[in-house]
Each structure stands twice: as C-alpha cells, then as structure tokens.
Structure 1
C-alpha cells in the first residue's frame, strides 16, 4: 500500500485500480469487506499524506491542512481517464451478434451498480476535495457517482444513441402493430436517458434535457408519422364509426404506453400529438357523421364521438348547433303527430254525429284537395300533448347526460330547442299561449278526483315532469291564469284528489317563480279553510234557532274577490222560493258577524241536488245533480208540468242565452221535452216535464258545461290575460322610468322585455302601445330636443 509521498501516485493508483477493476469487471466474485476497506483506506491515506505548502494555499486555508490536499485532483483525473478507457473498450469489444438494446441495457445496469460502489469507495475524496472544488465554482467537477454518469454519456451514450433510438422505435412500432415485445428493454433505455440528464452548473440537480432531446423528440415524430399514415388509410377503407373506435383504442394504448415504459412528462405531448393526428385532422369527417348517428339513436357511437371531439378545442360547437336543430325538429314532429291524430279523431266524430242526428242528411263528400279551414282550432288532448313534449325532452335529456356527460353546451342546446318547440309548434299556431293552457289542463285532470292516477309517488313524479315542461313555457302568466281557474273550480266543487298533491304543486311553482306568483293560489286555500269554519258555525246556529226540518243541507264558500279568478256579473237570477229562506238567513248571519262587508252571490258557480220522485218508471226516484240555474228551471215544475219559453224566462229572471245554456242538457237528456216548434229558445215552443224519464243511474249529473261554454270561458280567460299584460307592461315602464328618469326608447324597450321575460314574452307592438297610453296619461313625456328619448314625470 502507498506510504504517502509524491512518488507514490503511480503505485497508489495501481492499487486503487485493482479494486475498481473488481467492481467493474468481476463484481460477481464479490468485493468483500476487507477488500472494500483496503480500497477506501488507500484513497484516504493518499489524500491525507501530504501537507499543503504555503505557496499552494489560497487565502486563510489553515482548515485544510489537516484535510484533503491538492493531490486529490490527481486521483480524480486518474479515475476520469480510467472510466473513459473502460467505456471505449466496452464499445470496441462488443459482441456484434448481441442485439444493441440487450447490450446497452445489460451494460448500463452493471455500470450504474458499479458506479454506486465506486462512489462510496471515494467517499473521502467526495466529502473534501470534490466538495471544495464545487463550492469554489469550478466547472466540470462532479461527485464520483455523477462523474460515472457523465462519462457514460460522453463516451458511450453519445456514440450509440441514434442507433439505440432506431431500435427502440422499431420495437414500439412492432407493438403498435400487435406484436409482443420485451417492454423491459425500452423501460431500461428510458431510465438511462432520464438518469443522464444532469444540470451542468449544479451536479446535484437532474434535468430531462437528454430524455427530451434524444428520446421524446424522435419518439413523438415517429408517432406522428405512424398515425398520420394509419388514420388516412383506415378512413379510406372503413366507416367513420369504425374509425372512431380505432382512434379511441389507439388513444387508450398510448396512454397505457406512458404507464408501461415512458417518463410521465411525455404523456401530455404524446397524447396531444395523437389527438391532433387522429382527431383534429379528421374533425370535419367525424362531425359530418353526427346527424346520421342522431337519426339512428346510436348512443354508444355518439358518446364515443363526444369523447373524441371534446379533446379538440371548439370542435363541439358544430355538434351543438346540429343537436339543437335535431331536437327542435323531433319536438315539432311529435307535436304534429298529436295534432294530426286529434284532427282525424275530430273529423271522424263529426261525420259520425252527422249521420246519427239526421239520417236523411248524409255528409257531403269533400272535394278533392279540400283543406280544413285555416282558422279552425283542433281540440288536442292535454295529457297526450304534454306527454309528447315530455317524451322528446326525456329522450334527449338522457342522451345529453349519457352520451355528452351533461356538458353545459349541450344542456343549453337542449334547453333552447325545447323552449322553441314547446312554445312554437303546430298546436300553438301563431301564438305561444296554447302550451301553458294545455299544461294547466293536464294539471287539472291529474289533480281531480276523477284522475286515473292514485299512487302518491306516481302523482309526484308526474308533477315533476309537468314542471320540466313549465320551465320552457314562455307565457307563464297564461299558465297561472288557467291554473288559477281550474284550481278555483276544484276547490269550490270539492273535486281535489289530494290536498298534499295540491300543496306540492303550489310549492313547486313557488320555487320556480317566486312567492308573488303563487300568493293568490295559497290565499284560496285559506279562504276554503275559513269557509268550512263559517259553515259549521252557521249550521250550529240554524239548528238552535229553527226547526230541524226547516234547515236545508246547505254549504257556502265566502271568497276574497281579489284572490279568486271568478268574474262577478249580475245574472238577474230569481232565487227559487225553496231556497229564499236559507239565503236570507245566511245573509243575516254573515252581516251580524262582518258588518260593512258586501256579499256578491255567484249563482253561476253554484250547484245543488234535487230529489225527483215523479218518474213513472222508478220506484225510488232519481237524484239530479244540477247547477243553480237548472235548479231554478226544474223547481218550476213543482207547480205545473208545462211552461212556455217566455214563462221560464220570467220565472227564472235569466237572460235567453243563460237560460238556453242551462236547459240544453236537460232537453238533450229528455228530462224536458220540447213541444210546439221543437227548437230550443223559440218563443213559440213549450217545455213539458217528461214523466216517463228513465235512466240506468240513480244519481245523474246534468251540470256539465257544453263545448261552446268551455270555449267561451277560455276566450274570456285569454282576454283577461291580455288586459293584465297591458297593466304589467305599463307598470314595468313606469318602474323603469322612475328609476332612470331619462331613457332612450330602444333602451327602455330592452329593459321592459328583460323585466317581463320571466312571466311572458311581450310583443314589441304591445310595449309601444303602452308607451303611448302612458304618454297620454302624462306619466312620461318625449324630450323636445330628442323625440326618441323619454323623461319621467313625477
């Protein structure tokens, strides 16, 4: 072993080299502890044997006099030269029959393991001389382990890296073509490229420069070339749907490739390049298939298309436009089917009725090419209509969530399409008020006792579906008016199937439109509850103050006129003598409790039951369920069996139209038989009580409004809506002008439309008319110097 003088460098290195040779070439023989310590001691003794001369000192370096001297540089250079020679010899002596990747990965594994042991053997040199050199900023000085890697990079890697990458890319292409390869070879190569990335200015820091330059860059270029060729060939020979499956599979494979043997930093550039080549460059071809997939309801392929195109910026925009148009078309088609079915049913019913009423007058054959009157309104079943709307929405809502992952853009397209076909379709005609009207009718049929749906959970589910359609309705004020009318009738006629269902619907409406929208609806229930208490109190008082048999089975609803949709009109109805006492007693009772209030009696909405014992064909008699007006007519027949039209007009006090409407059902059911001219409402006709009246039912309901009455009521409701809208528009204009004081006409128009859009969609012409009304009323004025600007008049 060296004794530690200048002449000992050669012999010392010869001793050290023996240990390094064992580590590099004969590691399998083993470097036992004794040999390892001998190697470590030799290096230590050499580094500490000579004292630094003063001339070699730099500054105050006394601390180094007992540490490593400058002779450490000799050992560092010896080792550096030795590693270079070793690596050059490896390349020179390589067995050419051995595959390059096998040789490279095998030698890399041996070399890096040896480098670790050599590093530990030179620990003293690392800790003192190397550290000092690095601290003083000397370039190209590394710890021994890093020196080994730098040597590999400079003397072996740079020589074979191009060949290595060719071999690696060949293996990867084979794998892409479906062949089985030894993935560990690529993994080991990648690890070596990563390990060789060293920060030149700080050997303690690693970089990916070598990996990025010599592996990732050629790998990405080869990937681009491979998939460019494959995608063009595949698309030319296969369908777009098959291509999408192929592209999806390829993207999954490349993602897995990163996990298998690439560095994780390559994932983003690799997948990005694959997306460009496989999807972006074929975006138009893929987009053009979208309509076909929609037409054929190919959900899996639509899901795949969305998944692929969502990777490319802005490529979904075209799909959203196509989707919106498709849903709108499907919605309109569904409504048109409902319309045509209703139209055919109405035509068949009309022809059948003609034949039954007058056999001698057969329907005249229609002229070839004849079309129905353009203004004729077809009576569409509300349930069928709403279910048709819901079916389209449900189908495409599921598609949006299943195929398009509920993406906001497709949700918006669905909403736009649904809003369009819900408010503008064949049934709606030129307006947008038919949908809310039919929706309200569907609610009414569902919430009535006569509803075929009795399960609470099913009712709740249908109510939720109704709210789905309601969300798209533009004229929410129309729905409110009709719903209010129907609810009022259900409450007054005690026809609601469930109080819980009624409350649930109002709660949903309140959540959707706010408290103001449902405030009157909720007050209706309050009035009904108070009326029940009022009836109980009145009945108790009648029992106490009058003979029991003198008290009719009588109940009444006292309703706040501001909350209920009933329009009061004095009918001139003469209350029958049988009801006068009860009527007067309640008047007195109520006035005693609430002095100063006025009761307006709505006989039009009143009803009752009459016991009919006159029929010859019935031993037990019948119970007639009738309106108050019908009751007023029938009770006349307690004193006579026949009356003229003029007699009935005089005795009931009704107008001819109202009396005719009340009697039409009685005449049609043959409770009354027309004599004389035989035409209802004729001054020359008389009406006889039919003593031979028969019915299979014991309780018979005659209080059924005719189609003409229902239509008249609907028309009245629409007129009320129009009047309410005028007031709402005027209120909005005043509210805006009061806040802004001065405003341009166009801005005022825009703000009015925005404010009222949650209740209905005002027509620009209606807003202009309301502005003119407010100008006349001097709420606002035009500025003299600018006629297009309005000022608020306080």
Structure 2
C-alpha cells in the first residue's frame, strides 16, 4: 500500500483524493476500477482515523486524542470537498449561461444527470466520513453539515441552480406553451427538470429529509401563473368567437390535457392547484354564460351537452346552484303542461291518463338526472321539490276540472291495475308498474328516486281510498291476481311501515277465514238438511268491523222469502260457533245471480248479476209482472233514493219498463212492468253497477273518516310524547307531534292545539302554566 499517501499528510491525501474524485465527476461513464475505489476509500479511512497528536502508553489518552484527531481531519476533508464541488460547478455554470431555451434545457438536464450520478459514487467512497464524522456533527446539531451526496445537492443548488433557474424556467414555460399550442416537444426534458427541482428541496432542520419547497417556489408557482395567464387569454378569445357549447367542449378538452400533463411530467402534488387554477379560469370566471345556456339545452333535451355542463360546473363551488333552481322550475312547468294537456281533452280526468302523464314526466327527468347529472343528490332533491304543488290547488293554473286529490287518483289508478279486466292484469310489467308507483327499483340510483307514491303528501288519504278499493275487489272477487295484491301491500309496507298496512293484511286474513267458514257451513247444511231444502247457492263473508272500511247500510231492507231461510240458518250456525259475536248484514255490498226464464226471445234464459237490493226488487215480480212504485217500496222496504237508483239501472238495461200515470215520471202510481220481450247479446247480464249518488256519498264518508282518524292519531301521538317526557313546553310538544306524524300527513298547528285542548278536557294532560303541559298518569 506504499502508493497511498501518508495518513497525516493532508495535502498529499487531498491531492490523491482529488485525482480520483475528478475521474468520477468528469468521466462518469468510465467509472472506477475496484482497486482504485478501494484505494480512495482507504485513503479517506486512514486520514480520518490517524492519531495526529502522537502515540501514548495511556490507552485512555490515545482514545481521546484519536477521537479529537478524527474530528479535525474529517473537517479538513469535508471543506476541501466543498471547494472542489464549487469550482467544478462554476465551470459548468459559465457554459450554461451561454445556452438558451431548449439548448439550455438539454445542457442543464445532461449535466444534472451526470452530476447526481457522480455524486452517488463520491458518496460511497466517503462512506467512512459519513458514518462517523458527518453523523457526529449532525447529532450535535450542526445544520451546515450533510452527508456527501446531500452536500453535492446543496452545492448544485447554491452554485448552479440559484444562478440559472430563472432562465431554465423561462425555457420550460415556453416549451409547455408550445405543447398547449399543439406543437410536439421533448417532454423528457421537463420531467428531468421537475425531478431536479424536487431533489433540491432539503429540510433545514433535518438534512436526512427533503421537502418540496424548492419545487413549489421555483417551478410550481411560475408554472401556475403562466397557466392562469394562458387560459385567461385563450378562454376570453374563444368564447367571443364561438358558441357556449363549443366552449364547453374546449374547456373539457383543456382540463383533460392538464390532467394528462400531471401524469406526463409534473409532480403529483401539482395536480390539485393546477386543476383548481384551470377550473377557476375556464369555468368559474365564465359560469354566467354557461348558466344562461342551460335553459336552452333543457328545452331541446340536449343530454350530452347537459352532461358536459354538469361535469364542468360541478368542479367549482356553487357552480350548480343556479342550474338546480332552473331545473326545478322547468320540471314543474313540464308537469303542469302535461296535466293541462290531459285536462283539456275531456270533461273528467281518467286516473290512468293522469298517473301515466306524471310517470312520463318522472321517467323523462329522472332519466336526465341519472344520465346527464350522474344521479347527483342535489338534482334529485330539486326533482323532489316539485312535489309540494298538490292537485287540489290545480285550479290556480287554470285547470278547475281536476277536482279529485292526487291521493284519490293514485288509489283509483291502482284499482284499475289490480282489477280483473285490466289490460295489465296478465302483463309481466305489472310488477314493474306497481314498483314505479310505490318505491324505486333497486340499483337505479344510490340516492332517492322520484315515484308517484313518494310525491303523495298525505299518505293516510291514499291509504283510506286504497283500502276502500281493495275491500270492493275482495268482496266482489274482482282482483286480477292475489300475488299482485300481496306484492302491492308489501311495497306499501316497505315504504310506510307495518302499521300502515296492518288493516290491509287483516282484510286478506278475513277472506281466507271466510272461505273455511263457508266450507264448514256447506258441509253442515248437507248433513242436516235434505237437498230440496237448499234451493239457493249461498256464500257468505264474515269481515272484522275494525279492519274493513265498510259502513252500515243507509236503508232498511226486507230479505226476500226465497233466501231468508239460508240467512237465518247461517246466523244460527255462526252464533253456535262464536257465542257473543253479533253479525251486521251489509246488504249494500252483497250481490246475487238470478235465473230469468220468462223472456220470450230466449230459449235458455238469462242470468242476471244483480245487487242484493236489485234482487229484492226483481224477486217481487215472481208474484206479479207489474208493480207500482208504492208496491215495490212496501215489498222491499228500501228508502226512496236507494229504490230509485236501483230502478234506474234496471230501466236503463230494459229489464223493466216504466209506465208513468198521465205521462209524469216519478208521480205517485207510477208502474213498473217486467219486460217480457227483453233481449241481450250476452247470456250473463251484469246489472250490478254503481249508483252515482252512492259513490259520491262514499267519497264524502271517506273524507269524514280521514278527519276523524287524524284527530285520533294526533291525540295518541301527543299522549305518547307526554308520557315519555312528563313535562313539556307548548312549542316543543307541537314540534314533536309534527315530527311523529309527518310520515302519514302534515297536520295544521291549529288542529294540534285543538287536540291538546281535548286531552286536557279528558284529563290525560294538564296545563301547568300558560306555556307548559304535564302528563297525568
């Protein structure tokens, strides 16, 4: 090892090291042979570990002197390395200053690559210095000391970067602008520049860590300012010469380019500030013309352009707010227009046409929200906000003929779907139609979807009308499908809860129980009576009065002698089976079939499907083929309105003929004759048609029932709240009552106050003071 310099000779040692370092720094591609590498490493080791103060027999003194010597010699090597790197970089800087634009970038990146590669080699040959002297200095808090590779970066920053970075950035920004203008560039130059700026960020408090301070200050900041200026000028010029739709396409393309630029050569941290800058300049600063264009796109159903506008404006704060307001107003106008159109086509609005019109509007704009607005929650909410205009107030927009409530029309439409003879009865889409009416199909949207039922404000009103229609379908066996009925109830239960459908489900249970009861009664009659004593096929339904929306008869009625025995036998049978229960006969909901063999033109006879009251009237003609109005009144015991309504249907079907005295219809002594020449194309003739006056009364009764039920519902809610709270202020009680009941209907504050007063009178609660109530156990 005689060729190595003496360990205590700084000048010789550095001259030896400088020769090796120069070979590394200036001829990086050649590298070092392993023996040469070991010689340099050993020279550093020997110099750092020799005992400058001489030897001693005292081991402790030797150790202390060696430590102190290693400290001093390490400092000398470190300082000489700084001088070398400074001189090395000065020569490169002078050459760099002679270059400009792309030539400068080429030279700068090439020198940076060679320099950092060489610095890594130098770092390795000074490994011993790093592990001992440098580490000790850093541990003692000296911030100006770095490991050798970091020192190389520091010197590049101080001796090269600080002098040329401005010219380098000018060249980079020109190159990026050229790329934005459509020219091809060497993106690798920019990528290397970015990497160099990132590498030069050093943590002043910890030399082992790096920051993005240099990159952000010297690259990102001027880059963002240049980006802002470029797009400000381009956007203003382009928008003044082109349409808003073309501008949106341009802005969308530019944003996509900038996102790709981050991936291509920028640091990932630049993505957020870059896109924010572009969004401000391209979108926010031009949001007004975009907002103005929105209505035209809606009117022309330009879904692709609407989706583009939504995508752009959703990027900026409050960019979508004006669109949501305009969208809500547009949907409301479309809904009113659809209703106005159907209202102008006839005297009365068909529930199916009305609901189909609402569904069509819903489908159109829900599809728009889903596709163009990406199912965005605020647009779904805007769609929901169309709801609060009830059909009861439709006369405000000039449609006074639509008098039925939305709830009643929806219930009637459901009845038309679920009744026998419906066009949808055997359609596979029936389930989907019911679903669209009640709850949204799963998977269509992650947020709430507009449906007709959801837009029903007072769901208790719908429930009452729906239950009446359901009762009629069950009583008259006109349901198209039990599965469809069950499915509808399941959907209502899912939407509103168990309590909402409890009575509806009990109605089905009563029908099932009645079937078993009829079978048992028939078996009993066959066991106890001769077949000749059972001339009438008899079927009965026993329904719980608390679950069925069926009212008591409004008229008395004499049961015909032909069927009275069967009524009495069943009453006795049921009384023996269920002692203590009382049966109330609802003749107005009953029906019968009568064989008519009297008509001269019929060989096989007709079968009349009639109501029970019509049965009583027609059976009276078994004794005589002509009766006065007074005779029929006496025989049936029906009141005048019911008798007249039933006779009108029989007269219209020409089963009876009217012979008024002196030509005055309705006068005393008016006679009704059985039409012996009755003819019909059908063997079965349905005469059991609804009487208009009864229908009107039924609707009025339903609304009365709704009002009474609401009072009870409010009272029970108030009692529950007070029982839980014991004492409560008036305002808090009203608010909690509203909160509990709003899923069924929205009560008026005045009605809640009335219910509070009723409960005070009933001594459920008491008033402690003017504004406070207390629960009474």
1:462 aligns with 2:429: no
Whether the 8 Å CA contact 1:613–1:622 is kept in 2: the answer is: yes
Task: Name the structure 1 match of 2:442.
Answer: none
Change (3 A) 1:532 1:674: same
User: How many Å separate the matches in 2 of 1:433 and 1:757?
Assistant: 22
Whether the 8 Å CA contact 1:667–1:673 is kept in 2: the answer is: yes
Whether the 8 Å CA contact 1:422–1:473 is kept in 2: the answer is: no
Task: Name the structure 1 match of 2:580.
Answer: 596
TM-score by length of 2: 0.90
Q: What secondary structure, in the 3-state scheme, does the structure 2 residue paired with 1:454 have?
A: coil
Once the two structures are superposed, the pairs formed by residues 318-717 of structure 1 within 5 Å of their partners are 318-341=322-345, 345-346=346-347, 379-420=348-389, 424-426=393-395, 434-455=405-426, 457-467=428-438, 468-551=451-534, 552-569=536-553, 571-677=555-661, 681-717=666-702
Q: 1:286 aligns with which of 265, 275, 290?
A: 290
Whether the 8 Å CA contact 2:352–2:413 is kept in 1: the answer is: yes
Q: 1:119 aligns with which of 123, 127, 131?
A: 123
User: How many Å separate the matches in 2 of 1:47 and 1:740?
Assistant: 84
User: How many Å separate the matches in 2 of 1:470 and 1:727?
Assistant: 24
Change (3 A) 1:614 1:246: same
C-alpha displacement of 1:487: 1.0
Whether the 8 Å CA contact 1:437–1:478 is kept in 2: the answer is: yes
Kindly provide the CA deviation profile for residues 678-719 of structure 1, in whole angstroms up to 9, marking residues without a partner as x: 565432321111111111111110101143432232222223
Whether the 8 Å CA contact 1:51–1:69 is kept in 2: the answer is: no
Q: Which runs of 5+ in 2 are unaligned?
A: 439-450
Whether the 8 Å CA contact 1:424–1:430 is kept in 2: the answer is: no
TM-score by length of 1: 0.89
User: How many Å separate the matches in 1 of 2:757 and 2:399?
Assistant: 30
Task: Name the structure 2 match of 1:299.
Answer: 303
Q: 2:319 aligns with which of 315, 318, 322?
A: 315
User: How many Å separate the matches in 1 of 2:213 and 2:51?
Assistant: 41
Single out whichever of 128-137 and 164-173 deviates more from structure 2: 128-137
1:79 aligns with 2:81: yes
C-alpha displacement of 1:539: 0.9
Task: Name the structure 2 match of 1:14.
Answer: 15
C-alpha displacement of 1:301: 2.3
C-alpha displacement of 1:227: 1.5
* Corresponding residue pairs, total: 754
Kindly provide the CA deviation profile for residues 11-40 of structure 1, in whole angstroms up to 9, marking residues without a partner as x: 333332222222222333443223333333
User: How many Å separate the matches in 2 of 1:5 and 1:702?
Assistant: 127
Kindly provide the CA deviation profile for residues 253-307 of structure 1, in whole angstroms up to 9, marking residues without a partner as x: 1111111111112112212222222222223332233333222222222222222
Whether the 8 Å CA contact 2:109–2:192 is kept in 1: the answer is: yes
Task: Name the structure 2 match of 1:728.
Answer: 713
User: How many Å separate the matches in 2 of 1:182 and 1:123?
Assistant: 37
Whether the 8 Å CA contact 1:2–1:46 is kept in 2: the answer is: no
User: How many Å separate the matches in 1 of 2:385 and 2:757?
Assistant: 33
User: How many Å separate the matches in 2 of 1:778 and 1:27?
Assistant: 101
Q: What secondary structure, in the 3-state scheme, does the structure 2 residue paired with 1:404 have?
A: coil
Q: What secondary structure, in the 3-state scheme, does the structure 2 residue paired with 1:623 have?
A: strand
Whether the 8 Å CA contact 1:133–1:141 is kept in 2: the answer is: yes
User: How many Å separate the matches in 2 of 1:431 and 1:693?
Assistant: 39
Task: Name the structure 2 match of 1:237.
Answer: 241
Task: Name the structure 2 match of 1:110.
Answer: 114
C-alpha displacement of 1:455: 4.1
Once the two structures are superposed, the pairs formed by residues 747-758 of structure 1 within 5 Å of their partners are 747-758=732-743
Q: What secondary structure, in the 3-state scheme, does the structure 1 residue paired with 2:142 have?
A: coil
Kindly provide the CA deviation profile for residues 231-260 of structure 1, in whole angstroms up to 9, marking residues without a partner as x: 222222222222222222222211111111
Change (3 A) 1:682 1:573: same
User: How many Å separate the matches in 1 of 2:30 and 2:714?
Assistant: 100
Whether the 8 Å CA contact 1:43–1:122 is kept in 2: the answer is: yes
C-alpha displacement of 1:731: 4.2
User: How many Å separate the matches in 2 of 1:278 and 1:566?
Assistant: 66
User: How many Å separate the matches in 1 of 2:390 and 2:671?
Assistant: 53
Change (3 A) 1:232 1:580: same
Single out whichever of 175-184 and 110-119 deviates more from structure 2: 110-119
Single out whichever of 642-651 and 507-516 deviates more from structure 2: 507-516
User: How many Å separate the matches in 2 of 1:322 and 1:25?
Assistant: 69
User: How many Å separate the matches in 2 of 1:31 and 1:612?
Assistant: 122
